[in-house]
Amino acid sequence: MESSTTSSELPPGFRFHPTDEELIVYYLCNQATSKPCPASIIPEVDIYKFDPWELPDKSEFAENEWYFFSPRERKYPNGVRPNRATLSGYWKATGTDKPINTGSKQIGVKKSLVFYKGRPPKGIKTNWIMHEYRLIGSQKQTSKHIGSMRVKPLKP
């Protein structure tokens, strides 16, 4: 997908720290509808094919958090539950979905997940957290289950 600004053209000192609303409005909505994003800095990576400590190498902006567009695969062919397993562990959802609004209109949801090593129910909790952003409503149908992911290690 072409964009007007690539990561190599960004100015010195540039930091990518979008709000939840900005991630959905300017990046995830554009990605889902095949429109260019303001800058081509969020790569498409199937994050469930990697463990979280491998993901920083997949991003051009290796600071303290990393952003990805990733497909959401189903755990079972006819089911609705997403498959969040990796080679050495799994991402477990925590809490409830947080609505993301622009003005008074809900445009998406944010889900927090924590990475566990091993297999459920005996997985060992790690310090890796992921925030998954999804579109809702009519835009969800065009998204092909692409989500925007913010991955970062928790501070000890």
Q: Model confidence over 39-61: pLDDT tens digits? A: 888 888 988 999 999 988 888 76
Task: Confirm whether 2 is domain-assigned.
Answer: no
Which residue is listed with tokens 């925590």? 94
* pLDDT tens profile 71-85: 877 777 777 788 899
Neighbouring CB atoms inside 10 A of 45's CB total 20
- Report, as an integer, the average pLDDT of 91-97: 94
- Report, as an integer, the average pLDDT of 96-118: 94
Task: Confirm whether 3 is domain-assigned.
Answer: no
Task: Confirm whether 7 is domain-assigned.
Answer: no
Handedness of CA 25, 28, 34, 38 (dihedral sign): positive
Percentage helix, strand, coil, to 5, in the chain? 20, 40, 40
pLDDT of 8 > 70? The answer is no
pLDDT of 1 > 50? The answer is no
Residue 140's CATH number: 2.170.150.80
Please provide the average confidence, as pLDDT, over all residues in the chain: 83
Report residue 142's pLDDT band, with 50, 70 and 90 as the boundaries.
very low
How many structural domains comprise the chain?
1
Task: Confirm whether 6 is domain-assigned.
Answer: no
- For residue 110, list its beta bridge partners: 98, 133
Report residue 143's pLDDT band, with 50, 70 and 90 as the boundaries.
very low
**Model confidence pTM above 0.85:** no
Task: Confirm whether 9 is domain-assigned.
Answer: no
Task: Confirm whether 106 is domain-assigned.
Answer: yes
Task: Confirm whether 65 is domain-assigned.
Answer: yes
Task: Confirm whether 126 is domain-assigned.
Answer: yes
Report residue 63's pLDDT band, with 50, 70 and 90 as the boundaries.
confident
Residue ranges making up the domain that contains 64 = 15-153
